[in-house]
Structure 1
Amino acid sequence: MRFKAKLAPEQVSLLYSVIVPLARLSSSASETSAWARNGSILYMDSDRFSISCKGRSQETDGISCFAEFRAAEGIFLEHRIESVAENNGILMEIDLGQLKLALQSVCANSMNSSERGTIEAAYNLDERSAVFKLAKRNNMACLCIEALSASKIQVHHAVPVRILRVTDKQQYMPPMIDDPTVKLQIVAPHQVQTRPLRTILENMRTMETARSTHPTVLVYGNQQSGELTISLESEGASIRAYFADVAPAATADPEKYECTVKVDARKLSAALQWQQQPQYISSALLGLLENQQLILHVSLEPAGVGFFTYYVPVHYLSKEAD
């Protein structure tokens, strides 16, 4: 089993920007072992590189996220993979927190100088690229990351991984759900400014903290009018944010054009952390499925390189409450 890939600085930065919110989602402060506490799944084959993780803290429990990148001419400049498994695939468990720190170090130490000398030749690194490879360190499987710092010192990280059977891949795939009743583009392609849903939600949470430690919000979407409303209501307070002219996307049943879901404000905020780095976002779709899921599907920039999708659990909402 072998894996080796070369990434340009822009590709490392893109991967890091996706890993950061996923590492927060999958981290836990419990006293269990690191694997049980923070383990997430990486899958790679000749065509794709994907990440699967779940929320593991009280604020993120029940959330799952699935990210996928195009491998060739996508997240990698070049890559080679050898496996006896189906589709030449490799499946592994990894702590995204450790991977995030490794990528952060590589991003901080990227350089522009073209004079590499013998170091470049020894580690097969070109002017600014980083190398990812699967190797053993101290008899432990690791995802190793190598790059050169501005002072021509090799930067090396070895993130422990646990190799899994590729036949178990289906256990870590996105959940099977119905087509959302409402789909609204909260970030349209080539849109300069994103709708600051997380900022508004955090302001709501701040105003509500004194009344409730577990605030919930109602999210209403109208496919026909392009209306999106987020409201938080409690004794003596009602806070609502309105967004008009939100572009709709096609749905399976055009006759059902509106939907309301009730969701934990902390979970929704956790699923919106990607809005802190909008430069890598091409478009984002909000999907509402009554009493089932709130879905956030985000396409990455440059277009076609990949996407990630959050699946956020919702509270049961009776017809009378709706």
Structure 2
Amino acid sequence: MRFKAKSSKAQIAFLSSIISPLSRLSPTAFLKFDATKLRISARNKDSNDVMGFCEVRLDCLYSDYKISSLNDSQIMLELDLSHFRTSLLSIHSTLSHSDTCYIKLAKRNTQPCLCVETSTSSSSTLSHDLPCKILQVEEFMNCLPPKTSTPSVQVYLPSPSNPTIRTCIERLKSLGRRETDHIFVEGSTSGWLSFTGMVTGACSKATFEDLNVEFSDSKASEAYRVDQLQMSQGCGNDDDLSVQVKVQNKKLLEIFKWQVSMQKWVDESTLCIVEDEMVIIHVILPRFNGDGGEEEETGFCTFYCPTVAFDPDDEME
């Protein structure tokens, strides 16, 4: 089994921006390398916890790499992503634009490690040996994203610039001296999205309007097609489809942490509401022009936040 790769300073910055939000979701994560892609699954054993899943092309992370194993050049390992994030940030801070970072699998005193190291132009060397556990590739089937129903509403999020949605949610959770445990998320096919925090006697709400709506692969798609047909016949339905779910505010904040580290590494992002199940954020990484001049996909990161049941006291005006 062998994995060795080298990255430029820009590629290390890209990789660390992806690792950073995932590292905050669970103590450890599962990484699967194959001949062309890296997949990362950050999830706890509790199905009610948030989860992150990422898939990215290796040639976007590394300027050169070699991978081999007895299992068709596939390797799976379990790793502490917070250690990986720290090592990448440390390496990045020491690199000049001409320096190279090396990442490889190796053994240190019989312990498998993912090693991150560099030799800088000033002749100094910096290395981090991160203990990891080598697993059977087949085990990654247990690390795949949860299966969910078709989303009711999908809206494109504003670009992750200030003030971010995450900042608004942080402000919503505290109403005066009281803190709400839950946030109500509501979206509509007319292109608006709202976040509401409530405590007894107080309510605070942030609304984002004029958002683009994704109709494919959602429950709204068929309703939209029927409505367009009715409108062409002069009997359209003016009612927009909207759906509201309730989530824990701490968990909702966790799936928006990507807006901090990934601001410059996002092509587009969508928020999907699966009624009574999940709030999902799907982040598309920047596309690039391939050898043929056509746009090619780099990869994606997806974050999952389970909903909680409504209480009788949750009735809002």
TM range (shorter): 0.7 to 0.9
Contact persistence 1:75–1:305 (CA under 8 A):
no
Matching residue of 2:246: 262
Cα distance between partner residues in 2 of 1:321 and 1:83: 56
- Tell me how many residue pairs correspond in the alignment: 287
- With over 3 angstroms needed to count, the CA separation of the structure-2 counterparts of 1:145 and 1:162, relative to structure 1, is same
Cα distance between partner residues in 1 of 2:48 and 2:206: 26
Could you tell me the percent identity over the aligned residues?
29
Q: Does 1:215 align with 2:208?
A: no
Q: Does 1:6 align with 2:11?
A: no
**Alignment map for 1:69-80 (pairs within 5 Å):** 69-72=56-59, 74-80=60-66
Once the two structures are TM-superposed, the CA of residue 179 in structure 1 deviates from its matched residue by 2.2
Matching residue of 1:227: 192
Cα distance between partner residues in 2 of 1:8 and 1:61: 38
Q: Which amino acid aligns with 1:50?
A: R
Matching residue of 1:92: 77
Secondary structure in 2 aligned to 1:62? Answer: coil
Secondary structure in 1 aligned to 2:203? Answer: strand
Q: Which amino acid aligns with 1:149?
A: T
Of the candidates 32, 38, 41, which is equivalent to residue 43 of structure 1?
32
Contact persistence 2:41–2:143 (CA under 8 A):
yes
Q: Which amino acid aligns with 2:195?
A: I
Contact persistence 2:173–2:183 (CA under 8 A):
no
Once the two structures are TM-superposed, the CA of residue 321 in structure 1 deviates from its matched residue by 4.6
TM-score, normalised via structure 2 length:
0.84
Matching residue of 2:117: 146
Cα distance between partner residues in 2 of 1:287 and 1:79: 35
Secondary structure in 2 aligned to 1:22? Answer: helix
Secondary structure in 2 aligned to 1:25? Answer: coil
Residue-by-residue CA offset, 1:168-220 (whole Å, 9 max, x unaligned):
11001111112211110004xxx584761110111111326x334x5211111
Cα distance between partner residues in 2 of 1:8 and 1:56: 35
Q: Which amino acid aligns with 2:90?
A: S
**Alignment map for 1:283-322 (pairs within 5 Å):** 283-303=268-288, 304-317=297-310, 321=315
Cα distance between partner residues in 1 of 2:285 and 2:82: 21
Matching residue of 2:152: 181
Q: Which amino acid aligns with 2:151?
A: P
Once the two structures are TM-superposed, the CA of residue 56 in structure 1 deviates from its matched residue by 8.4
Contact persistence 2:160–2:259 (CA under 8 A):
no
Secondary structure in 1 aligned to 2:175? Answer: helix
Once the two structures are TM-superposed, the CA of residue 55 in structure 1 deviates from its matched residue by 5.3
Cα distance between partner residues in 2 of 1:91 and 1:83: 10
Cα distance between partner residues in 2 of 1:318 and 1:61: 18
Secondary structure in 1 aligned to 2:173? Answer: helix
Q: Which amino acid aligns with 2:257?
A: Q
Cα distance between partner residues in 2 of 1:192 and 1:102: 25
Once the two structures are TM-superposed, the CA of residue 151 in structure 1 deviates from its matched residue by 2.3
Q: Does 1:238 align with 2:238?
A: no
In structure 1, the gaps of 5 or more residues are: 27-37, 113-126
Contact persistence 2:156–2:214 (CA under 8 A):
yes
Matching residue of 1:120: none
TM-score, normalised via structure 1 length:
0.83
Cα distance between partner residues in 2 of 1:15 and 1:56: 25
- With over 3 angstroms needed to count, the CA separation of the structure-2 counterparts of 1:164 and 1:151, relative to structure 1, is same
Once the two structures are TM-superposed, the CA of residue 43 in structure 1 deviates from its matched residue by 0.5
- With over 3 angstroms needed to count, the CA separation of the structure-2 counterparts of 1:193 and 1:23, relative to structure 1, is closer
Contact persistence 2:41–2:144 (CA under 8 A):
yes
Of the candidates 160, 163, 188, which is equivalent to residue 131 of structure 2?
160
Cα distance between partner residues in 1 of 2:121 and 2:73: 36
Matching residue of 1:121: none
Secondary structure in 1 aligned to 2:151? Answer: coil
Once the two structures are TM-superposed, the CA of residue 276 in structure 1 deviates from its matched residue by 1.4
Cα distance between partner residues in 1 of 2:45 and 2:210: 36
In structure 2, the gaps of 5 or more residues are: 225-240, 289-296
RMSD: 2.3
